[in-house]
Each structure stands twice: as C-alpha cells, then as structure tokens.
Structure 1
Amino acid sequence: MSGQLPLFSIEDDAPEIGDVEGLLLAGGALVRRDRAARISVVVDLGWRTETLAEALDRRGLGSELRLADGGRCSVGSHFDPRLLDTALRWTVGARTRVPAGFVLTAARLRFWVAAAGTRDHAGYLLRLGTGGEHLWA
C-alpha cells in the first residue's frame, strides 16, 4: 500500500445524501420550499457539469442543468425532502455556514473537488465560493 488515502478511487461507501454538502464548501446554494430543499452550484461547462449531475443522480436527487452567465452552468438537484435537514443545519438566516461537528468525508471532498478544485503551481487548490470565508465564522 502506498500510504496515500484513496479519496478518489471508486466509491467504496454507498452514496449518501449528506455527501452533497461538499458543494456548499465550493459556493453552492440551498433553497428551501415547503418541506423540501434543493442544492445547486455554478461551475464551468464540461466535465464538472457531467460529473456533478451523475453524482446527484446516483444519490436519487435528480439533476438539473441551467446555463448561467459567463459560459458557466448551474448544476442542481430537484427539490427533495431529504435535503431539508441539510438546509436547516447549514443556514442561519440568509447565510450559509458550516455546522458544528461537520466532518469532511472523502465523498464530500469529491463533490468539492468536482465543483471547485484545480491544479496550481503549489499542487491543488480547493476554492471557496465568492465570499466563502464567512462559512467558517
């Protein structure tokens, strides 16, 4: 064994709804309606849209793609009651915030990487969404 964690190997664990919380670290948004919520994130067109749509579908959340400004695309789930708990834990008023006890699992990291990860001169960069520093306040 190489000693490196196999974070990006084929998913060993069964996909879970909570895995999508990685999108919120990448600037994703939650919208609540009635007793359901949806999650979405704006990404560059191409492999990111396909990867995220497939991952949402694999969790039974469905996926919607919408063109956004600047040649980008919004990738989001359908409204689903199973996302309501995530929305309640991650939002304080109109702000999104990392909830107490949050654990960055391999699956959540994969969502973050797919939405906002990129190679840079020092290795790999995981971007936060615009104004993302408030997530950790």
Structure 2
Amino acid sequence: MSDYNKQLKAFTVLLRAANAVQEVSRQDITENGLNLTEFAVLELLYHKGDQPIQIIGKRVLIASSSITYVVDKLENRGFVQRLACPDDRRVTFASLTNAGLVFIESIFPKHEQKVAQIFNILTEEELDTFIKLTKRIGLQNTNL
C-alpha cells in the first residue's frame, strides 16, 4: 500500500471511529433530554466554572452564532444563568444554577462510565499513545 493510500485509510478509520464514538455519546446524552452541544456547555461549566459566553463556543467547538441559542435553551430549563461581568460591561458569563449543578452531577457519572467503556479495549500504554498521536495530528493541522 502506498503512503498516499495509507494516509487515506488512516483518515477514513479516524472519521469512522470518531463517528462511532460520537454516536454512543449522543445516545447516552439524549437519554437525559439534552443534545451534544447542551451537554458540552453544562460539562464545561461544571468542570471549569463560570465562563464568558463568548469563550464557550470556542471551548465546546460550536459557532459563536449558536452559543446564544444554546445558552438560552439551558437558561429556559433553569440550568444556566447569565451574570454580568463586574469589570467589563461587554462581557457576560454563563453560570450553572443550583438546578443545573444538581442535574449535571446526577448524569455525569454515567456519562463518564460510558466514555470509559468506549476506551476500555485499550491498555493504558495504548491510550497514552492514542492521546499523543491524536493531539499531534490535531495540532499540526490547526495551521493548515
């Protein structure tokens, strides 16, 4: 197999694996009445605390035009609130409400177990290698 064909095969394998993992994750998350983006925002706020709304889109890889809609939906469900930045009127933070905290704490352990199941076929050494190689591919291609 030529290098070009190996690279195409690696690309196809990576996309198929990512799609399979995303589908398992999507199914797990939708059982809780959320979509992937809503869950990603809740998870970010849970692990990183209050975040400027303008930054959330970059952190969870969604368009900045969509983040307002997602935060609105989570706010309407009582999971998130907007807080004005005391130092800069142009900045608004998203923050978990008590209801949002209780909700994410109730569903996150099951999600964490599901993710562990996805990767449990790899040894610890293979997982370290996978992380290293995937990061390397991602970092190299952010400049293309």
TM, length-normalised to structure 1: 0.35
Q: Please identify which structure carries the higher helix content.
A: 2
Tell me which protein shows more strand as a share of its residues: 1
Higher RCO, 1 or 2 (CA under 8 Å, sep at least 6)?
1
